[in-house]
Structure 1
Amino acid sequence: MIKHLPLIAPAALLVLAGCGQATAERAVPLPRAAQDVPAAPGLQHAVLAGGCFWGMEAVFEHVKGVRNVISGYAGGTADTANYGAVSTERTRHAEAIRITYDPRVVSYATLLRVYFSVAHDPTQVNRQGPDSGPSYRSAIFPQNAQQAAAARAYIAQISRAGAFPRPIATKIEQGRFFPAEAEHQDFFNRNPTHPYIVRWDKPKVAAFKAGFPTLAR
Structure 2
Amino acid sequence: MQTAVFSGGCFWGVQGVFEHVNGVTRAVSGYAGGHVANPSYEQVSSGATGHAESVRVTFDPAKVSYGTLLRIFFSVALDPTQKDRQGPDWGTQYRSELFVNGPDQERVAKAYIAQLDAAHVFSTPIATRVDPAGPFYPAEAYHQDYLDLHPDQPYIAINDIPKVEALQTLFPNNWQPTPVKVGKLASTD
Structure 2: gaps of 5 or more residues: 177-189
Which residue does the alignment assign to 1:205? 164
Partner of 1:160: 118
Please report the TM-score for the alignment, with normalisation by the length of structure 1.
Answer: 0.79
Q: Percent identical across equivalent pairs?
A: 52
Paired residue for 1:185, among 144, 154, 162? 144
| Aligned residues: CA RMSD | 0.9
Tell me how far 1:196 sits from its aligned partner. 0.7
Query: Letter of the aligned partner of 1:96 in structure 2?
Result: S
SS of equivalent residue, structure 1 residue 90: coil
Deviation at 1:76, TM superposition (A): 1.1
Q: For 1:50 and 1:105, locate their aligned partners in 2 and report how far apart those are by CA, in whole Å.
A: 23
Whether the aligned pair in 2 keeps the contact of 1:80 and 1:91 (CA below 8 Å) is no
1:82 deviation in Å? 1.4
Q: Could you say which residue in structure 2 is the equivalent of 1:50?
A: 8
- How many residue pairs match? The answer is 175
Separation in 2 of the partners of 1:136 and 1:201? Answer: 14
Q: Distance in 1 between matches of 2:147 and 2:74?
A: 20
Between the aligned partners of 2:87 and 2:148, the Cα distance in structure 1 is 20
Question: How many Å separate the matches in 2 of 1:80 and 1:120?
Answer: 26
One-letter code aligned to 2:13: G
2-structure distance, mates of 1:99, 1:154? 18
**4+ long deviations beyond 4 Å:** none
C-alpha displacement of 1:78: 4.3
Where is the strand percentage greater, Structure 1 or Structure 2? 2
AA matched with 2:32: A
Please say if 1:105 is aligned against 2:95.
no
Are 1:75 and 2:75 an aligned pair?
Answer: no
The letter for the 2-side match of 1:198 is A
Cα contact 1:94–1:135 (8 A) shared by 2:
yes
- Which blocks of at least 5 consecutive residues in structure 1 are unaligned? 1-42
Do the aligned residues in 1 keep the contact of 2:4 with 2:56 (CA within 8 Å)? yes
Larger radius of gyration: 1
